[in-house]
A and B are shown apart, each in its own frame.
Chain A
């Protein structure tokens, strides 16, 4: 059935108003040459994602300052426009509307929590507003979203999980019990890791889903089979401290190997009281929170720019721990936007499609100050970046990298080709 498109509201306003707008537009276009490029930053300032939002903000401001010090983008300064999305998908979509229609931003940028991204992305497509996300969700590469939504600064969870399986199977054990929250993030881990460990000759011997409202976990630990060699945990939220403490009380000194995702403990000091049980256990990290012996000059410069010390804490307050394993994605993404705008000769919203095509054409993103925590490979078809992933062991309260999975370890077959979608 052919689609009927109703004329937009502006056409109803009459010829006089249109002529007036045209005159204003001409004047603005001329003035715009030196006007800032506005990037709408969808920030988790309130709600469950606030800890992430604060550090995403700090990283974004630092990246923007560096870009401006280098002369901006196409000779224009960069301006970050912040709106709080409340870590809520409804508000997230409203914020995108504010960026597009009220602040007249060139692109939108943010944010971590997948439900906010998925709730906002349809509006990005409808508003034809490029939406660069730093979410690590598989929703972009899965094909669920649209051509206006891209994730060029952080690896997605499917790739992260897949790249962990070889190390787990070869070094920790092949019989794995998974403990995960009973919602989509946990289900992603369950499904992707189950497949990945099977490909390594291992198996998941138990899948323990924990309702998100749970505050005590003691009744779940007896469900862990005796044959378990590795516990894979990906608990998130404020209950994680209780989870670790109760797991320690359950196992005592005799425990299987334990592997988890640092997502659970972002913004939490790994040597916090109550986390002693984590000594000798392993964590995934997108970027190593604690500076390593082989730290690159880029990582050191990145920490200095954002205001983070060698333990991933704020230089102003060592108790204020950053979300180091994720927040680099904001820095990388802003540099991708800059590179895309420069490659496409971006001048204004009329060039948004060209900007997206320029980013889609990107592939290698080498280690350097634009990507200070590691090189990345961008897949323009799936709009998804892939980077190295780290496994760190807790040793004397320090996170020490014991394995780095290559970019190739995390690659998987394309599930979508966004470049075939029209603008």
Chain B
């Protein structure tokens, strides 16, 4: 069996497992799957830049928010129907990725982290400042008609899951192909040794710009999907914690692996959910768990699996 076939089977197996889980888990846990998949799309977008290209952004919440507001505001203020508004959300994430990338990629390393953090903070404050339109920190509820696609109301539990699954499956399969493509392999080459990649004749800056634009588009897609499926748009999703979350998800799940982001989101979601049921000091438990994982599984959960299954994409 070739690695490509194994990879495709793995991804199809993950998608099938999500369907089985939805059909068999109790209502609460089944309902969580939609949210986990949307956040996993966000993590996949982050992973493309961090895990595969080696660029650590501390400002990805701005791309998630760009998608969320790109969809939400056009639906709310201009009455744009769901699908075009959703497409505008993705476009907003990609466009912001392109612009921020063009400026931030003049820096590298710690400076890149700080510049992305500052851009994200500027985006957050911009949302607050234009509160007349965005409703600032309070946010707004997405009009119910903007949550209907092809006559299907996505506020229903099953419909929401189906939509989240379709989006997640498309993103997972597409990134699976992307990281095996020439572009994906070149991005990994940049991550491993940018200077050598340049010496081999690749335009590393242009490739990194492509990576951040794609990453912005995927993050924007996730933001738009969150608003579409859960009916809320708010500035808290543009705040610093939502830039840190994808980093944690990817680190925990396994940076530079296609299924790592999903595993990371799953792990963090239920770590918080379970710990908060035990004690109000649940963030302490979460923190200790993260430290332990970092100490004993620095490559993340998927990284551990990859030791036994080296073909894991």
Stretch at the interface among B22-30, B95-103, B106-114, B181-189: B22-30
CA distance A212 to B22 in the complex (A): 41
For B202, what are the chain A residues with a Cβ–Cβ distance below 8 Å?
none
> Can you list 12 contacts pairing A with B, beta carbon distance less than 8 Å?
A5-B153, A5-B159, A9-B23, A12-B23, A94-B32, A97-B32, A114-B138, A115-B235, A119-B236, A126-B231, A183-B235, A212-B137
Chain B residues at the A interface, C-beta cutoff of 8 Å: 22-23, 26-28, 30-32, 35, 121, 125, 128-129, 131-132, 135-142, 148, 150-153, 155-159, 161-162, 230-232, 234-237, 273, 276, 280, 282-283
In the complex, are the beta carbons of B31 and A118 less than 8 A apart?
A: no
CA distance A139 to B138 in the complex (A): 9
CA distance A97 to B276 in the complex (A): 15
CA distance A135 to B238 in the complex (A): 23
In the complex, are the beta carbons of A122 and B132 less than 8 A apart?
A: no
In the complex, are the beta carbons of A101 and B236 less than 8 A apart?
A: no
For B276, what are the chain A residues with a Cβ–Cβ distance below 8 Å?
83-84
User: Which residue, of B136, B139, B157, B162, has the highest number of chain A Cβ atoms within 10 A?
Assistant: B136
Q: Which of B35, B162, B234 contacts A6 (CB 8 A)?
A: B162
For B129, what are the chain A residues with a Cβ–Cβ distance below 8 Å?
182, 209, 211
- 3 A-B pairs with least C-beta separation: A122-B231, A101-B28, A184-B136
In the assembled complex, A90 has its CB within 8 A of some CB on chain B: yes
Q: Which residue on chain A has the smallest CB distance to residue B132?
A: A187
**Binary per-residue interface labels of chain A (65-92) against chain B in the complex, 1 for a CB within 8 Å, 0 otherwise:** 0000000000000000001100011100
Closest CB in chain A relative to B32 CB, distance in Å = 7
Q: Which of A9, A46, A187 contacts B131 (CB 8 A)?
A: A187
Given A3-B152, A89-B234, A119-B234, A94 contacting B35 (CB threshold 8 A): yes
Given A1-B151, A115-B234, A145 contacting B30 (CB threshold 8 A): no
In the complex, are the beta carbons of A90 and B236 less than 8 A apart?
A: yes
In the complex, are the beta carbons of A9 and B141 less than 8 A apart?
A: no
**Binary per-residue interface labels of chain A (111-129) against chain B in the complex, 1 for a CB within 8 Å, 0 otherwise:** 0001100110111001000
In the complex, are the beta carbons of A4 and B151 less than 8 A apart?
A: yes
Interface size of A in residues (CB-CB distance below 8 Å):
45
Q: Which of A5, A118, A212 contacts B141 (CB 8 A)?
A: A118
In the complex, are the beta carbons of B26 and A6 less than 8 A apart?
A: no
In the assembled complex, A102 has its CB within 8 A of some CB on chain B: yes
In the complex, are the beta carbons of B138 and A2 less than 8 A apart?
A: no
In the complex, are the beta carbons of A45 and B158 less than 8 A apart?
A: no
CA distance A121 to B138 in the complex (A): 12
For B30, what are the chain A residues with a Cβ–Cβ distance below 8 Å?
9
Closest CB in chain B relative to A371 CB, distance in Å = 27
For B31, what are the chain A residues with a Cβ–Cβ distance below 8 Å?
97, 101
Q: Which of B23, B27, B150, B156 contacts A5 (CB 8 A)?
A: B156
CA distance A118 to B162 in the complex (A): 25
In the complex, are the beta carbons of B158 and A7 less than 8 A apart?
A: yes
CA distance A46 to B136 in the complex (A): 21
In the assembled complex, A13 has its CB within 8 A of some CB on chain B: yes
In the assembled complex, A213 has its CB within 8 A of some CB on chain B: yes
Q: Which residue on chain A has the smallest CB distance to residue B281?
A: A46
For B23, what are the chain A residues with a Cβ–Cβ distance below 8 Å?
9, 12-13
Closest CB in chain A relative to B237 CB, distance in Å = 7
CA distance A114 to B131 in the complex (A): 14
CA distance A164 to B62 in the complex (A): 38
Q: Which residue on chain B has the smallest CB distance to residue A121?
A: B141
User: Which residue, of B140, B150, B157, has the highest number of chain A Cβ atoms within 10 A?
Assistant: B157
For A122, what are the chain B residues with a Cβ–Cβ distance below 8 Å?
141-142, 155, 230-232
Closest CB in chain B relative to A4 CB, distance in Å = 5
For A319, what are the chain B residues with a Cβ–Cβ distance below 8 Å?
none
For B141, what are the chain A residues with a Cβ–Cβ distance below 8 Å?
118, 121-122, 144-145
